[in-house]
Amino acid sequence: MKQKIEQLHEVVNSWNANSAEELEAIRIKYLSKKGEISELFNQFREVPNDQKREMGQLLNQLRDTAQNRLNELKATLEAQRQEADKLDLTRTAEPIALGTRHPLSLVKNEIIEIFSRIGFTVAEGPEIEDDWHVFESLNFPPEHPARDMQDTFFIEQHPDILLRTHTSSIETRVMTKQQPPIRILAPGRVYRNEAISYRAHCFFHQVEGLYVDKNVSFADLKQALLYFAREMFGEDTKIRLRPSYFPFTEPSAEMDISCNICGGKGCPFCKHTGWVEILGCGMTDPNVLEACGIDSKVYSGYAFGMGVERITNLKYQVKDLRMFSENDVRFLEQFK
Residue with the bigger pLDDT between 196 and 169: it is 169
Same domain, 192 and 322: yes
Residue with the bigger pLDDT between 334 and 296: it is 296
Same domain, 56 and 179: no
| Mean pLDDT of all residues in 185-202 | 88
Mean pLDDT of the chain: 86
Same domain, 229 and 263: yes
Q: Is residue 245 part of a domain?
A: yes
Instruction: For residue 84, give the amino acid letter.
Output: A
**Domain of 189: which CATH number?**
3.30.930.10
Q: Is residue 95 part of a domain?
A: no
What confidence score (pLDDT) does residue 238 get? Answer: 92
Q: Is residue 94 part of a domain?
A: no
Residue 197 CB burial class (10 angstroms; 0-12, 13-18, ≥19): exposed
- The torsion of the CA quartet 304, 309, 315, 317, rounded to 10 degrees, works out to -140
Residues β-bridged to residue 306: 207, 279
DSSP per-residue codes, 155-189: ETTEEEEEE-SSTHHHHHHHHHH-PSPEEEEEEEE
Q: Give which of 243, 238, 242 is closest to 225, Cα–Cα.
A: 238
Residue 21 structural domain: 2-85
Q: Which of 52, 85, 118 is the last residue of a domain?
A: 85
Query: Per-residue pLDDT tens for 108-136?
Result: 999 999 999 999 999 999 999 998 999 98
Q: Which of 53, 85, 117 is the last residue of a domain?
A: 85
Same domain, 77 and 123: no
Q: Can you tell me the distance from the alpha carbon of 8 to that of 62, in angstroms, rounded to the nearest whole number?
A: 8
With bands split at pLDDT 50, 70 and 90, how would you rate the model's confidence at 199? confident
Same domain, 75 and 107: no
Whether the pLDDT of residue 84 is over 90: the answer is no
With bands split at pLDDT 50, 70 and 90, how would you rate the model's confidence at 231? very high
Same domain, 59 and 193: no
State percent of the chain over pLDDT 70: 98
What confidence score (pLDDT) does residue 147 get? Answer: 61
Cα–Cα distances in angstroms (integers) from residue 62 to residues 37, 38, 39, 153, 218, in the given order: 8, 11, 13, 89, 92
Same domain, 52 and 190: no
Same domain, 81 and 113: no
With bands split at pLDDT 50, 70 and 90, how would you rate the model's confidence at 171? very high
Same domain, 73 and 126: no
Query: Per-residue pLDDT tens for 323-332?
Result: 888 888 888 8
Same domain, 250 and 149: yes
Query: Per-residue pLDDT tens for 30-64?
Result: 788 777 877 777 776 777 777 777 777 877 887 88
| Mean pLDDT of all residues in 134-160 | 79
Q: Can you tell me the distance from the alpha carbon of 58 to that of 35, in angstroms, rounded to the nearest whole number?
A: 17
Q: Is residue 21 part of a domain?
A: yes
Q: Is residue 91 part of a domain?
A: no
What confidence score (pLDDT) does residue 150 get? Answer: 62
Q: Is residue 55 part of a domain?
A: yes
Please give the tally of structural domains in the chain. 2
Q: Which of 58, 85, 112 is the last residue of a domain?
A: 85
Same domain, 223 and 118: yes
Same domain, 78 and 120: no
Kindly provide the residue ranges of all beta strands, DSSP E only, lying in the chain, ordered along the sequence.
Answer: 121-122, 128-130, 154-155, 158-163, 182-191, 203-213, 239-246, 249-258, 275-284, 300-307
Whether the pLDDT of residue 291 is over 70: the answer is yes
Q: Can you tell me the distance from the alpha carbon of 275 to that of 156, in angstroms, rounded to the nearest whole number?
A: 42
Q: Is residue 206 part of a domain?
A: yes
Q: Is residue 284 part of a domain?
A: yes
If one counts every other C-beta atom within 10 angstroms of the C-beta of residue 296, the result is 17
